[in-house]
Structure 1
Amino acid sequence: MKYLFFDLPVHRAILNPEEKPIQQILREAGGNTGNLLFRYAIRSQIGDELVDTHWKEGVALAQTGKFDGVVLAGANWLNTSQPFGNEKRARALRELGLPVICIGLGCQHYFTTHEKLEFPKETLDFLDALRELEACVLVRDEMTLIQCRHYGLKDVHLTGCPSNFINSSDDFADKLISKTERSHYDKVILNSGHFAGPTLELDRKLLPLTKHRPGSYLVQANHNGAIAMALDKSGEYSGKDIRHMRKSFKLGGGFFGRKEAFEEWRSLLGVYLDVEAWLKDASSWDFAIGSRIHGTMAPVQAGTPAVLVATDSRTEGLASLMGVPYIKIEDALKLENPVSVKDLINLSQLDWMSYVEKRKKLAREYASHLNRFGLTLTPSLERIIS
């Protein structure tokens, strides 16, 4: 069976990033490198042929070839303030008229609520298209499930994020437990949110845990030129970006001192544009912490303990559903300096056996809907649910 796999042209890696301008890299990653891990995960779970494509190109492909359906890697498209291109999704799905399964759809709002939310008209049109096509929709958390039902979708199910189902090894839980119980955590990675507000305060508080190793402060989006900085594309971040980072991280000194301080700070930044390299490196870390859900899931799937700092209803709901250890940002900010890894582990009430049990239940639910849609499960996913 052959399916269109929307809505990015890649799923594992962005090739030759050194030859590409930052805007092309961002386009291929969908603005956030966590999308690569998300799509890689789906690819690792579905054995059928999936053709990576953007919307316009996918419609053109369907005019010249036969496809059995559409697989959507659905991110946080149900956002109450931004349409995130949902008008293109609605238009393409209607034009294609193929069976649709949407995997990992999420809702983003300022707070958790089960009351019906108001979405931009483009998002309402997208929900209408899913309803008209009787799409199978697998969602990240309970709030998303309830919002979809408010808008008339019937075939909606709670499965969490597919990035939860990458590691299928028999010793998965043992590795997580063993690494958590060590007395010393040398290689700690911080995954970053936004360079503003409480998440900036969080990053400043936790950055000392990394011992300021080069590449230990991971970014996924290009806020204030962060990905361009991490890739050393000096012509693609601005003086304003530099000034923002200097001010945010108090990089002082005279003119030359400021310049040297910025370059030293910039060397801390890292970004992964290849999922397999990300997972391989993550297996060598001792611990990861931060406000990115995929920045948390990559190390966990690589067998490295990680704790998510939940900054909103979306991340808290997803972590709670999946059993991923998390702490609320307001609680993290109350920790006394210097913060230790043990402080974070204790606050998160980390329990890997409970996590693995929840994961198996969710994986079985997830696999049942893939099967029902007619998709072939990979041996990797079969092992997780067995």
Structure 2
Amino acid sequence: MSEPLAFMGTPGYVRDPARFDVPGLLAVLGANSGNLMFQYAATRLLAGPQRHVGRSEVPYTDPNALAGAKYVVVPAANHLRLGADWTGFSNFLERARRPLIVLGLGAQSPKLGGERETVEALKADPQVARLAAVIAERAAFVSVRGAFSQTVCAEFGIDDVEVLGCPSALLNPDPRAGRAMQTKLAALAGSPEIPLFGLTAAAPFEIQREPHKRALEKKLFEWLRARGGLYIQQSGGPEAVYAAGRSWETVPPALRGTIKSVLQPEAGDDEFWSFMARRGRFYTSAPEWMKEMAELKLMIGTRLHGNMAAIAAGTPGVVIAHDSRTGELADTMHLPAIDMEAVMAASSIGEMLPQIRFDGAAFDAWRARTAATLRARMRALGVGVSAHLERLAAGAA
């Protein structure tokens, strides 16, 4: 039997989520359910025995957590960011004394532009500097999500990186997924029918003091309410999860009022919370998330992984870029995208649809190249890859 790979985090779903209260569940998810998509992709792309180490799986404190493991796989997501406490995580990676396979490492700037200032701030953050030093010392392979993250990595001495976007872009098994989505988008733009869509929602307490983001979210929510689509929350703390998870009554009245004021202040309480109870979602399983996305015609919003869940299911997921993270990923991965200004200028979702930028063939070609690069690098390390990844990589031949 081949040596197992030790994956940090969940296998893409939380086993028996009812055993956790909401704060505990958010701790399992790294405060953001979007991590499920990232983690699920890692398990689907690499082959061989897998062991998952984290709050809901093999405990970090288990002395046998890494027994026999050849590599520690780190789905890194948005790890190079200001204000995070990586003490326990860095301690574990240091003690592991195993080479690391780091996937999708990303650096975040608070907004588009200002990148030099963000680089300097990241370098001055002791938590980021320590985690980056561990990666620089231990990593056998690092993929990053885009050019900005590559620049930040170079500042920390992490030079041998591959720019491969987010692994979740490789979840859809169809090598022609981009062409299929482009056909769907063209049909939506040419139809008088309002499509059944989902909003991959911003965290309401994070945008309440940002007028431009708040205005954007309010407009998208109005369109959503008119069509009866799905409101999908990924993060924002327990109250945001309760609001989207059909337990809005548990939210204190003052915070409940803040959520409604961000999304639809003019609505009555009964109609607003009735909608959220019926159409709000907070997922604890990537496969279940993807399954429900297949029932929609479109996904749109500022949250990357909510859109990736839709793309994985073959539903166009349209990214509204609002900071360096989403902008970098949309450009790197050739994702369906639209400018915030175009959304705000549209009087209806139908008027917005023709403004979406997407080249399905470019998306497919990028995925094939990415899969082929990942396959080659894993083979060089003696790590098996899945038949799923092999099929995608074959398109690059």
Per the normalisation by structure 1, the TM-score is 0.89
In the alignment of these two chains, the number of paired residues is 376
- State the one-letter code of the partner of 1:35: N
**Counterpart amino acid of residue 180 in structure 2:** K
Partner residue of 2:54? 54
1:215·1:270 contact (CA, 8 Å) conserved in 2? Answer: no
With 28-37 and 315-324 compared, the bigger mean Cα shift is at 28-37
Structure 1 residue 274, shift from structure 2 partner: 1.7
- What runs of 5+ residues in structure 2 fail to find an aligned partner? none
Gaps of 5+ in 1: none
For residue 376 of structure 1, what is the aligned residue in structure 2?
384
In the alignment, the residues of structure 2 paired with residue 212 and residue 369 of structure 1 have an alpha-carbon distance, to the nearest angstrom, of 48
Alignment correspondent of 2:215: 201
Match of 2:79 in 1: 77
Amino acid at match of 2:156: Y
What percent identity do the matched residue pairs reach? 23
Which among 267, 274, 280 is matched to residue 278 of structure 2? 267
User: Which residue matches 2:309?
Assistant: 298
Instruction: Work out whether residues 142 and 161 of structure 2, in 8 Å CA contact, stay in contact via their aligned partners in 1.
Output: yes
Q: 5 Å matches for 1:346-357?
A: 346-357=354-365
C-alpha separation in 2, matches of 1:286 and 1:134 = 40
**Corresponding position of 1:157:** 162
Aligned partner of 1:190 in structure 2 is 199
Distance 2:6 2:158 in 1: 22
Q: Which moved more, 1:145-154 or 1:181-190?
A: 181-190
Equivalent runs, 1:1-386 vs 2, <5 Å: 1-6=3-8, 8=9, 10-18=10-18, 20-54=20-54, 57-58=59-60, 60-62=62-64, 65-79=67-81, 81-82=82-83, 84-110=84-110, 111-112=112-113, 113=115, 116-119=119-122, 120-170=125-175, 172-182=177-187, 183=191, 184-195=193-204, 196=207, 197=210, 198-212=212-226, 216-223=230-237, 225-234=239-248, 236-252=250-266, 258-333=269-344, 335-337=345-347, 339-341=348-350, 343-386=351-394
CA distance in 2 between counterparts of 1:160 and 1:247 reads 35
Q: Is the 8 A contact 2:336 2:357 kept in 1?
A: yes
Q: Distance in 1 between matches of 2:220 and 2:94?
A: 47
Amino acid in structure 2 at the alignment position of 1:36: L
CA distance in 1, matches of 2:175, 2:158: 37
Deviates more, 1:356-365 or 1:219-228: 219-228
Alignment CA distance shift 1:282-1:64 (3 Å) = closer
* Corresponding letter in the other structure for 1:136: F
1:295-349 deviations in Å (ceiling 9; x for gaps): 111111211112100110111011101000212324432x132x224x4343232
Q: Provide closer, same or farther for how the CA distance between residues 321 and 173 of structure 1 changes in structure 2, counting only shifts above 3 A.
A: closer
Query: Which range moves more in the overlay, 264-273 or 322-331?
Result: 264-273
